[in-house]
């Protein structure tokens, strides 16, 4: 199985490119959830003040969704 991961700043076109790649490759696209993101509205209201907080929020969400692998 191959995985393509897109990363970039807000508004860079990640979702649009993901949709195009998914359609072109005939594969399923997975998107980061924004429905439960309480920081995003703050960022859109004042990007300069909340940009760092939003990045930390995204980083924490990724850590939460990463399975823990135990090494022996």
Query: Tens digit of pLDDT for each residue in 33-59?
Result: 778 899 999 999 999 999 999 989 988
DSSP string, 3-50: -------TTSSHHHHHHHHHHHHT--------TT-SSHHHHHH-HHHH
Residue 72: the pLDDT is 66
């Amino acid at each position: 199985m191959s995985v393509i991961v897109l990363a970039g700043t807000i508004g860079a076109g990640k979702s649009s490119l993901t949709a195009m790649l998914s359609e072109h490759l005939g594969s399923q696209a997975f998107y980061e959830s924004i429905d439960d993101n309480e920081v995003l509205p703050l960022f859109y209201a004042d990007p300069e003040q909340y940009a760092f907080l939003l990045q930390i929020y995204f980083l924490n969400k990724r850590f939460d969704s990463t399975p823990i692998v135990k090494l022996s």
